[in-house]
Every structure is written in structure tokens, then in C-alpha cells.
């Protein structure tokens, strides 16, 4: 047999063999052995089904087992939730040891209890789909090199390799490894890997419905789906991860102690898994606007994560508690917490600051915001250890968790103060969920200059973070909406506030910000769309023109398909105050045609409150 010629137009078979599928190579699908496997003299196997690899008898047995465990199934092996809240689930579920899937969890040094490859419900195909080694896996390497440091909750690479070498637990790790390889592929190839997506869903279908590894796997998968613009599925995956976490009571400290099997690195991974759920929950709440945090009020007893170098080395110290962190101002000496702990603290402070705000901010709330909301945010900043928690190290490396923590504090400040500041909202910003216009008849507050200064200080702090001398710009995609809200405030400052040299500097800062986002957009399509929307907003706010170009109300514009910004005489289509005219025939269809900048948000349902929806960069 011969392989197709390099210049041939052979198409990828939908029935690729497992070896080619897992290596993400083209396969001609020939039976009983494809051309590639024949050429390399290796075994060639095919999955029985793309919907799980199980025959009718195996599927019937699996359904029977799940029904006996009292679990509803959505067809992909996902444990479906009932109508109870996360808080109700936390208090209503049985103790950890009595949950299905944990009865026989006695492996020494095991990572997670999962599917037994000898189970009668597992097909021959499921066994062959297991990845036997990750020691030299290029996609796993890509995951750890490019993504792990942004959200470091799975085991460090060398510890993961060590755990995976135990044949008795390889099957349980398959969903997590599949999710990691999918993200690694995105960074390596800059494309959505359909085959790896199918493999991930197959692994989840064959895993035990109560395996905690599913929490880690679905959290990673949700992030990849969201920023690849598969937003509905991303939300579903994240919700399922939250529900399973509540079922298993993973927020309790005894969970890490019980299922670490005397492995301190594994215990640390469980602590990080809960707290990363907490952080990502906040990121989604802010990015989506209309959502509230699902776990902010959970009475978690899980201790705080350690430093990153301690996690990587395996030298895990005695973990500190949330109470230790909340009382750090009373410590006799300068107690330093981990970067992860400060990130958790930043999220908690931002949530507390927003919770102090009334649903609709009015003039009389000006002093309340300064006294209450700012106290929470400033307290986090003022208690940072001097010189010990820098975002950039002496060797020029970015502390990614501190980078995110600072962005959260500053975007919360911008969102809280801008409605009461002198930085007016432009109607064109309605296309973005990163800002909301306050009531038009809201009187000017007495402390308007204080609010304006607060916003500008936080915007400048954001710019300093983005300007750190590390290129290319590589951070978690969740920084997009945080950066976008600061950019919208800076655009307003350029239009209403800044003059002369300060205006020129701000314009350069906007160019740099858009350039940073464009770098992330090379990897994530959702960010690419966000960049185009920010460019459109900026052109309108700054009164820049690109020639007449009408927009269809049924299309999303590309970078060269912008609505008309100037009239036939070269005059901007702005009102007397520099605002976009509500009668502009080009901008209104555009505003109603595109999705919002950062979330699942219907532009026809705009409100003006300052709940979570009013600070969507968080």
C-alpha cells in the first residue's frame, strides 16, 4: 500500500483509525489496516462508534448502572443537575465516602478513582483509545508551556507524568488528559481540533459520572469552548463542573485530605481545583454580565494554595487558611501569602465591593461608594507585601496570577466609579457589555472629580500592566474583557477629558492595548471578534472616518467592513456633544446586528443598574 501523494487533494476520512486520530494525522480509513499504519507496521484499530464506542448491550448496562446510582444522564456521560442551587446541593448530598464511584477508591498514590478498563461496560475501542504515555507527548508539552501557568490547578507536569505511569489509574485520567491535549493543540496549531473534541467527549462518556477528574476536565474544556465562540456549550460544561463539585463537597478541606492518599502535591491540586472554580466563576460572571457568581456565598473550608515554585517542586508547606488571609493586617510580622491566595483575595474583594452598591446608583451614593466599595479594593492593594509581590520578577518573568489579581482590582474600580465620573458614556458603547450607561437624568455628584481620578488611576495601572516588557503578549483569554472596560474608559477620556500631550499619550496607549488584544486574537476567535468591535467603538468615539460603508443588519463586520463614520463633506456623524446621533442610519443596524463584546447579552435588553452586569470586565 502507498500513502497519498503530497500534492493530492485526498480528504480526511470520517472513519479515521484510532492511531491516526490520536496523532491528529490524515487517515484514508482503509480496512482492516489504513495505509499509514501499514507503512509503519503498527496495529490499526477503529472505534466502534463516534458516540461513545459502546455497543447496544454495553450502553444498556451502563444506563442501568447510572440509573441505580440515581444519576440522570444527558447522553454524553455528564451528571445532570436538578433544580437545587449550589448551596442546597452542598448541604443535601451524602458524605464523600458514600458517593458512587468512590467505594473502591483505595489505590496507593492514586490521582482519581475512575473507570476500570476491565469493566463489562467498556468496549475494546475504549481500551485502545487510552493514551499510554504522556512523557513525550507534544500536545501535553504545549499545554504546560503555553497555558498551565494561567490557570495552574492540574498537577505539575512531572507529577502528572509520574501519576499517569500507574496503569491502574490511567483510565480515570483520560478525560483530563484529553482536555489538556485539546488546549495544547490550539496553541500549537491555532485551530479547533475536531478529532480531539470527539475524543474528549468519548472519554467523558466512558468515565464514572462522579469522578472528580471530570471537574478538572470540564473546567478546561469550558474555557476552550468559550473563547472559541462555542458559548452555549461552554456554559453547560462549566455548570456541570460546578454541580459535580457541589455534589462531592470539594470545597471542604477534608476532601483534599481524604482523596490525596498521603500525597501532598495531589492534595494541593484539589485545593487549587476548588479555588480555580471560584475564580473562573467570577470571570464568567463578569464576562457574561447577566450572570451572578454561583459559589461566592458557599461556606468553603478549603485551605489556600501555596506558591507556584513550591507546587512545581513538590515541597508543599502547611497550607494557610482563608481566616489567616482575612486577618493578615493584624500579624506582628509581614506574612506573605501565595500569588494564588492574593488572586482569590482580589476576587473576594471585588465581589464584596460590588455587593455594597445599590441596584441603581444615584447622586447620593457617591460618598457611600468611596467609603464602602473603595475600602475593600484599597485594602487589598495596601496590604500587599512591599517588594515581595511584584508582577514581574528580577529575571523578567510575569507572575500570571498576580497579573490577573491586579487587573481584577482595577477593572472593579473602573466599573464602580465611572458612572459617577466625568468620563461620559457614548451610545455606541451599547454594543459592548463592558460598560453600561447610567440614567441620563442622573445629577452630577458633588465628588465627581474624585470618581474621575479613581477611574483614571486604575486605567493607568492597567496600561502599566499591559506595557510590561514581555512579548508576545500571552495571558489568559479572560483578561480580554478586563482590558476592554479600561479601554472604553480611556476612549471616553480622550474625547471628553484629555488634551494636548496627554491626549497623544492616551492614543498611543489605546494602540498598544488593541495590539495586545490582537495577539490573543490569533489564538481565540472570540477575542478576534471583540477586537473588531473595540475598533468600531474607538472610531466612533474618536470621530475617525473610514469612508462610507453601509452595514447589513444580518452580518457581523470584518475589520474592513465598518459603518459610515463621516458624511459626504468629511464631517463626522456625531452630535453637538460628540455623541453618535440616534438617527444615524448606519450605526443603528450595526448595533443591533452584532453580538455583545464579551457575553451572551441581548442588546435589546439593556439596563442601567450596577449589579454584576454593570461591571462586566470582572
- Burial-class residue 397 by CB neighbours within 10 Å (0-12, 13-18, 19+): exposed
Output the pTM of the full model: 0.71
Residue 67 CA: distances (Å) to CA of 63, 78, 458, 516 = 6, 13, 53, 50
pLDDT at residue 583, rounded to an integer: 36
pLDDT at residue 447, rounded to an integer: 83
Q: How far apart are CA 340 and CA 389, in angstroms?
A: 11
pLDDT at residue 206, rounded to an integer: 86
Torsion of CA 605, 611, 613, 617, to 10 degrees: 160
Q: Map residue 398 onto helix, strand or coil.
A: strand
Residue 285 CA: distances (Å) to CA of 147, 292, 342, 512, 586 = 22, 5, 19, 27, 32
C-alpha 561, offset from chain centre:
29
Q: How far apart are CA 231 and CA 446, in angstroms?
A: 42
Angle at 276 between CA 74 and CA 468, to 5 degrees: 130
Mean pLDDT by groups of 10 residues along the chain of 618 residues: 42 63 76 84 66 51 55 40 53 40 29 33 39 86 96 96 87 93 95 93 87 94 95 93 93 86 91 96 83 80 95 95 92 87 95 78 73 86 85 91 96 87 80 54 73 92 92 92 91 89 93 94 92 89 58 32 32 33 36 36 30 34
Q: How far apart are CA 221 and CA 237, in angstroms?
A: 7
Q: Give 244-290 pLDDT, tens digit per residue.
A: 999 999 999 999 888 777 889 999 999 999 999 999 999 998 887 75
Q: How far apart are CA 524 and CA 143, in angstroms?
A: 15
Q: Give 66-112 pLDDT, tens digit per residue.
A: 555 444 444 433 334 445 556 555 555 434 333 333 222 332 223 33
Q: Map residue 372 onto helix, strand or coil.
A: helix
| Residue-wise DSSP of 219-271 | HHHHHHHHHTT-HHHHHHHHHHHHHHHHHHTTTSHHHHHHHSTT-HHHHHHHH
pLDDT at residue 433, rounded to an integer: 53
Task: Give the residue among 170, 254, 237, 236 at the shortest CA–CA distance from 206.
Answer: 170
Amino acid at each position: 500500500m502507498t500513502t497519498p501523494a503530497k500534492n493530492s487533494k485526498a480528504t480526511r476520512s470520517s472513519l479515521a483509525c484510532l492511531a491516526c486520530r490520536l496523532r491528529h494525522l490524515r487517515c484514508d480509513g482503509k480496512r482492516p489496516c489504513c495505509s499509514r499504519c501499514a507503512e509503519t507496521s503498527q496495529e490499526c484499530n477503529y472505534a466502534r462508534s463516534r458516540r461513545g464506542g459502546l455497543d447496544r448491550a454495553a450502553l444498556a448496562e451502563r444506563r442501568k448502572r447510572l440509573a441505580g446510582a440515581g444519576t440522570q444522564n444527558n447522553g454524553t456521560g455528564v451528571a445532570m443537575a436538578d433544580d437545587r442551587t449550589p448551596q442546597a446541593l452542598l448541604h443535601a448530598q451524602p458524605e464523600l465516602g458514600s458517593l458512587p464511584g468512590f467505594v473502591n477508591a483505595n489505590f496507593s498514590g492514586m490521582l482519581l478513582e475512575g473507570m476500570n478498563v476491565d469493566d463489562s461496560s467498556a468496549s475494546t475501542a475504549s481500551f485502545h483509545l487510552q493514551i499510554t504515555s504522556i512523557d513525550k507527548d507534544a500536545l501535553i508539552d504545549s499545554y504546560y508551556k503555553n497555558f498551565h501557568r494561567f490557570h495552574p490547578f492540574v498537577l505539575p507536569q512531572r507529577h502528572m507524568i509520574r501519576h499517569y505511569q500507574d496503569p491502574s489509574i490511567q483510565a480515570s485520567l483520560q478525560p483530563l488528559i484529553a482536555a489538556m491535549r485539546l488546549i495544547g493543540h490550539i496553541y500549537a496549531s491555532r485551530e479547533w481540533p475536531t478529532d480531539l473534541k470527539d475524543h474528549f467527549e468519548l472519554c467523558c462518556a466512558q468515565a464514572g459520572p462522579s469522578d472528580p477528574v471530570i471537574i478538572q476536565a470540564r473546567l478546561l474544556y469550558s474555557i476552550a469552548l468559550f473563547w472559541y465562540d462555542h458559548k452555549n456549550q461552554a456554559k453547560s460544561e462549566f455548570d456541570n463542573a460546578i454541580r459535580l463539585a457541589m455534589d462531592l463537597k470539594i470545597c471542604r478541606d477534608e476532601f483534599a485530605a481524604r482523596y490525596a492518599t498521603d500525597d501532598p502535591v495531589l492534595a494541593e491540586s484539589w485545593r487549587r481545583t476548588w479555588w480555580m472554580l471560584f475564580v473562573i466563576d467570577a470571570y464568567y460572571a463578569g464576562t457574561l454580565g447577566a450572570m451572578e457568581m454561583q459559589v461566592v456565598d458557599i461556606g468553603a473550608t478549603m485551605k489556600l494554595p501555596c506558591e507556584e515554585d513550591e507546587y512545581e517542586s513538590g515541597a508543599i508547606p502547611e497550607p494557610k487558611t482563608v481566616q489567616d488571609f482575612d486577618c493578615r493586617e493584624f500579624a506582628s510580622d509581614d506574612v506573605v501569602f501565595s500569588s494564588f491566595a492574593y488572586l482569590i483575595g482580589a476576587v473576594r474583594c471585588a465581589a464584596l465591593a460590588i455587593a455594597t452598591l445599590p441596584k441603581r446608583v444615584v447622586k447620593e451614593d457617591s460618598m457611600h461608594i468611596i467609603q464602602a466599595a473603595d475600602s475593600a479594593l484599597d485594602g487589598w492593594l495596601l496590604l500587599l507585601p512591599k517588594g515581595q509581590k511584584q508582577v514581574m520578577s528580577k529575571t523578567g518573568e510575569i507572575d500570571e496570577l498576580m497579573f490577573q489579581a491586579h487587573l481584577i482590582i482595577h477593572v472593579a474600580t473602573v466599573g464602580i466609579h465611572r458612572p459617577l465620573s466625568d468620563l461620559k458614556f457614548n451610545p455606541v458603547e451599547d454594543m459592548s457589555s463592558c460598560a453600561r450607561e447610567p440614567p441620563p437624568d442622573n445629577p452630577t455628584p458633588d465628588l465627581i472629580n474624585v470618581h474621575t481620578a479613581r477611574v483614571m488611576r486604575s486605567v493607568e495601572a492597567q496600561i502599566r500592566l499591559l506595557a510590561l516588557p514581555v512579548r508576545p503578549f500571552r495571558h489568559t483569554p479572560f483578561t480580554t474583557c478586563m482590558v476592554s472596560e479600561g479601554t472604553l474608559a480611556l476612549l471616553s477620556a480622550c474625547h471628553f477629558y484629555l488634551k494636548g500631550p496627554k491626549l497623544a499619550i492616551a492614543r498611543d496607549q489605546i494602540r498598544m492595548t488593541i495590539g495586545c488584544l490582537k495577539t490573543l486574537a490569533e489564538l481565540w476567535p472570540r477575542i478576534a471578534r471583540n477586537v473588531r468591535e473595540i475598533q468600531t467603538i474607538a472610531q466612533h468615539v474618536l470621530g475617525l472616518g473610514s469612508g462610507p460603508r453601509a452595514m447589513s443588519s444580518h452580518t457581523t463586520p470584518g475589520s474592513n467592513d465598518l459603518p459610515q463614520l463621516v458624511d459626504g463633506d468629511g464631517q463626522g456623524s456625531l452630535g453637538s456633544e460628540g455623541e453618535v446621533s440616534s438617527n444615524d442610519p448606519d450605526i443603528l443596524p450595526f448595533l443591533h446586528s452584532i453580538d455583545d463584546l464579551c457575553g451572551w447579552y441581548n442588546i435589546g435588553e439593556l439596563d442601567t443598574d450596577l449589579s454584576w452586569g454593570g461591571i462586566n470586565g470582572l
